[in-house]
Amino acid sequence: MTRSKLYVLIGTLLVAAMLLAACPAPAAPAQEAASEPAAEEAAPVDEVVEIEYWQYNFAARVDAMDQLIAQFEEANPNIKVVHNADIPYAEFRDKIAASVPAGVGPDVATLFYGWQSVWIDSGYLVPLPEDAFPPAMVSEKFSPMVQASFVEGTLYTLPTAVRALALFYNKDLMADAGLDPENPPSTLDELADQAAACTQRDDDGALVVEGFVADPSGQDHHWFREVLVRQFGGVPYSDDYSTVQYNDEAGLQAWNYLLAFHTDLATGDRDLFDGSTNAFVGGHVCFHVDGSFRLGTIANNNPDMNFGVTELPSHNGIKSTFGSYWTHGLTKKAAADQARFDAAVKFLQFITSADAGALWVDIVGELPAQLEAGSNPELLADEKLGAFAAGLEYSHATFFADESQQRQAIIDSFDMVVLTDEDPATALQIAADTDQEVLDDFWSSR
Amino acid sequence: MRLTLRQRQIIWAYLFMSVALVFFVVIRWYPTILAFNVSFRDWNVFEGSGTWVGLENYQEIWQDAGKPRSSVTAAFSNTVRYVLFGVPTQLVLALAVALLLSQIRSLSAVFRVAYFAPYVTSAVAVAFVWNWLYQPETGLINQALDLVGLPSQPFTKSPAQALPSITAVAVWQNLGFAVIIFLAGIQQIPGHYYEAARIDGANAWQLFWRITLPLLNPIIVYLTVLGTISYLRLFALVQNMSPQGTGGPLKSTTTVVLEVYREGFSSYKMGYAGALTVLLFFLILLITIIQLRFFSRRVEY
């Protein structure tokens, strides 16, 4: 009896062990993939190569990319591009991470440029081949902010389009407040004055119309670092973005300027109307700093809003804007197979061309990354896009070691002042220390 | 080999149990063992393997915990606070509701469904609804406060109120489960104990303290252990109710599991996240053992 019990136990354990042994199976497809090139080299030359392209789900981007893929496949009948854009933005990074151990995933992936460091450090992206993407060509033809795609001198990604920040203003609310809707603020002082004049409260003191809502969890953390700090005479980071420098006198002035909208001027509350961006889109805010991608949001959600877009206000005669971009990289999955890698390179060349940028701006509203298409006079004269296009020549893109942590540092320090009455200078120093720690962590491991 | 009937029964029993066993081994134990392995490595999610670094990840957590405004410290202390606020509140409320429900005859099924519904609702949906209820100025709760002349409250937007606000939602969501278990327990108490006590002149209060509560002890232990574990693993509500899912404002609502997620899937530091997971595993194990050791006692009459 005890013996038979033992048999059963051993049998069960064997079954379990076999299943356990079968468990590393997810790694198997990757090995299969690695052994594929031999098979493909032997195949005839006109064999169709299939590559996979991933981006997050954003209707206009999906539409634009579908059109580009159709054009590309027509020009390259032996390459088939599988377009995966079903992943919501919030889950995009998780799905990418989950795809790797499963041995699936993209050959060409679109990522926010601020994520590059983390993706490169993790070995997911491979350098772009220099013969197909000569560094000199990139410097010459692409918007200067695209230099952020060089990590320690090596080019890893290239964008189709870039974005800059500009000032959105609600013309009707301005008119209601007795301001001239055709003369939006052109300096920081004017912005503060007009925002205060535009703010309306009801009898109980509750905000009805918000002049300006300072909200670092939106675009204002970028506005602070790359625009305000520079306008008050500072430089946010050292040239190689290894040292935080915004914790100086100029940085503190910029910080106080941003905080004043919340503390002294009280022109807005970021908790009202579902956050600053939704509040502007909903027509409750007079002035708002945002990117060109917001034009699409407004067109979809509040198409009748009477608003304008102008360049970010200057200060001390200094103009600046924050540039950023979604960029395309080649993954190690593509690099594992020469035929696929060649196809992926071709595809990347195609979607980063000036023509692709021109198509992109029409559909998505982001500006072409190649200067040739970006300096198009028609674009500069565009009532809405013109302000963004004008900003490209004086834009700065922050090099991020870890965008979400560096952003959180600014948000937390802003919260310390607004929610817990921390001294602004102390809070700014804490942000700088936290930010520096992230940078040190990144650079020390290189 | 000739098997007796009993032996054959045993074999069949093991065969049927092996299905569940295989499930647990593959879906639960294997990843758990893997998590231990990952925690000793500089494991990058994209590489799928990592170099062995021994206790380095644990040292890093220890160092991070010593820093000012540390996320790790906030995560562990918040997690403990969720348990301390959530579990007792949930138990007391659930017992009260169950006692009331056991008294009524009509509509009791309707009430049970009403209390149980939040438990089977997705945490994300619950979080969305409560986010709207908690909205500053315009939310239903603040409108109600306004009606009775009380000032508007920031709830999840304030570092002081955010954790209790989220705990309240967790209690609301888990209450139904505890109520149902309590109801089952109450119905198992033989009616003649109460009759005998009444004949001896016991009042309602004495009935509760001397009969109901002691006989519910196994249920209370069970719900305490399960409740504690569920609060120690709190994630979805925090992820969906704190600003941008970061466990803020100012880390006031972050939990260990949320930090695991952020380190693993936002910063891609799987080794570090794995080490945090292992620490949480031992925390849960330790607390559960202590609870079972000290709270379990048999009550017989």
Place B1 in a pLDDT band, splitting at 50, 70 and 90.
low
Alpha-carbon gap: B170 to the closest alpha carbon of chain A (Å): 23
Q: Work out the mean pLDDT of chain B and round it to a whole number.
A: 90
Do A213 and A141 belong to one domain?
no
Q: The whole model's pTM is what?
A: 0.81
* Partner residue facing A271 (CB), from B26, B45, B154: B154
What would the DSSP string read from start to end of A362-378? HHT-PEESBHHHHT-HH
Residue A157 domain flag: yes
**What pLDDT score was predicted for residue B301?**
60
B28: chain A residues, CB-CB within 8 Å: none
Cα B254 to Cα B78: distance, rounded to the nearest angstrom: 7
Q: Is the pLDDT of residue B255 over 90?
A: yes
Do A363 and A249 belong to one domain?
no
Do A122 and A271 belong to one domain?
no
B246: chain A residues, CB-CB within 8 Å: 408, 411
Q: Which of B3, B10, B45, B46 to mutate to test the interface with A (most CBs of A within 10 A)?
A: B46
pLDDT digit string (tens) for B189-236? Answer: 998 999 999 999 989 899 999 999 999 998 999 999 999 999 999 999
Residue A32 domain flag: no
Q: Are A352 and A159 in contact (CB under 8 A)?
A: yes
Do A173 and A136 belong to one domain?
no
B154: chain A residues, CB-CB within 8 Å: 271
B26: chain A residues, CB-CB within 8 Å: 19-20, 23
What would the DSSP string read from start to end of A394-412? GEE-PPPSSHHHHHHHHHH
Do A141 and A171 belong to one domain?
no
B248: chain A residues, CB-CB within 8 Å: 411-412, 415
Cα A302 to Cα A283: distance, rounded to the nearest angstrom: 8
Cα A136 to Cα A291: distance, rounded to the nearest angstrom: 28
| H helical segments located in B30-161 | 30-39, 56-66, 71-103, 108-120, 123-134, 140-147
In the block, tokens 């071709």 appear at A346
- Using the CB atoms, write b or e for B281-297: b if 16+ within 10 Å: eeebeebbeebeeeeee
Nearest to A339 by CA among A44, A100, A93: A44
Cα B193 to Cα B115: distance, rounded to the nearest angstrom: 29
* The amino acid at A61: R
Do A115 and A154 belong to one domain?
yes
**What pLDDT score was predicted for residue A206?**
85
* Partner residue facing B26 (CB), from A19, A97, A404: A19
* Partner residue facing A4 (CB), from B7, B137, B250: B7
Cα B271 to Cα B93: distance, rounded to the nearest angstrom: 40
A424: domain CATH number is: 3.40.190.10
Interface of B with A (CB under 8 A): 1, 3-4, 6-7, 10-11, 14-15, 18, 21-22, 25-26, 30, 44-48, 69, 135-138, 154, 157-159, 243-246, 248-251, 265-268
Chain A CA closest to residue B24: A16
* pLDDT by 10-residue block (mean), chain A, 446 residues: 55 50 38 40 65 90 94 94 89 81 87 87 89 92 89 92 94 94 95 95 88 94 96 93 94 96 91 88 95 85 93 94 94 91 95 92 86 78 88 87 90 94 95 94 80
Residue-number span of the structural domain to which A216 is assigned: 165-320+402-444
Cα B258 to Cα B240: distance, rounded to the nearest angstrom: 11
pLDDT digit string (tens) for A212-228? Answer: 999 999 999 999 999 99
Among A374, A396, A418, residue at a domain's last position? A396
Do A194 and A260 belong to one domain?
yes
Cβ-Cβ contacts under 8 Å for A178 (sequence gap 6 or more) = A197
**What six digits make up the tokens of A204?**
């109980």
Residue A315 domain flag: yes
Cα A213 to Cα A285: distance, rounded to the nearest angstrom: 8
DSSP collapsed to 3 states, B130-157: HHHHHCCCCCHHHHHHHHCCCCCCCHHH
Residue A28 burial (10 A CB sphere; 0-12, 13-18, 19+):
exposed
A216: chain B residues, CB-CB within 8 Å: none
**What pLDDT score was predicted for residue A115?**
86
Nearest to B249 by CA among B170, B172, B155: B155
Radius of gyration of chain B (CA): 24
Cα A48 to Cα A179: distance, rounded to the nearest angstrom: 62
Tell me the C-alpha to C-alpha distance, in Å, between residue B153 and each of A169, A345, A414, B55, B139.
30, 55, 20, 45, 10
Nearest to B267 by CA among A404, A331, A99: A404
Do A154 and A279 belong to one domain?
no
Domains annotated for chain B, with CATH where assigned, are: 66-295 (1.10.3720.10)
Q: Do A4 and B249 touch (CB under 8 A)?
A: no
Alpha-carbon gap: B47 to the closest alpha carbon of chain A (Å): 7
Quick one: DSSP state of residue A215? -
**What pLDDT score was predicted for residue A361?**
87
A34-43 own/partner pairs: CB under 8 Å, 24+ apart:
A34/A336, A34/A337, A36/A337, A37/A336, A37/A337, A37/A338, A37/A339, A40/A337, A40/A339, A41/A338, A41/A339
Q: Do A123 and B46 touch (CB under 8 A)?
A: yes
**What pLDDT score was predicted for residue A6?**
56
Q: Which of B6, B18, B266 to mutate to test the interface with A (most CBs of A within 10 A)?
A: B266
Q: Report angle CA A58, A64, A68 to the nearest 5 degrees.
A: 135
Chain B CA closest to residue A217: B244
Residue A9 domain flag: no
Q: Do A94 and B265 touch (CB under 8 A)?
A: yes
Do A392 and A427 belong to one domain?
no
Q: Do A123 and B4 touch (CB under 8 A)?
A: no
B162: chain A residues, CB-CB within 8 Å: none
ipTM of the complex, rounded to two decimals: 0.81
Do A207 and A261 belong to one domain?
yes
* The amino acid at A105: G
Overall number of domains in chain A? 2
**What pLDDT score was predicted for residue B184?**
92
Does residue A185 sit in helix, strand or coil? coil
From first CA to last CA, the distance across chain B in angstroms is: 49
Do A201 and A244 belong to one domain?
yes
Cβ–Cβ pairs < 8 A, chains A and B:
99
Cα B202 to Cα A419: distance, rounded to the nearest angstrom: 54
Q: Do A23 and B22 touch (CB under 8 A)?
A: no
Alpha-carbon gap: A186 to the closest alpha carbon of chain B (Å): 31
**What pLDDT score was predicted for residue A46?**
65
* Partner residue facing B46 (CB), from A122, A402, A411: A122
Residue A11 domain flag: no
Do A186 and A265 belong to one domain?
yes
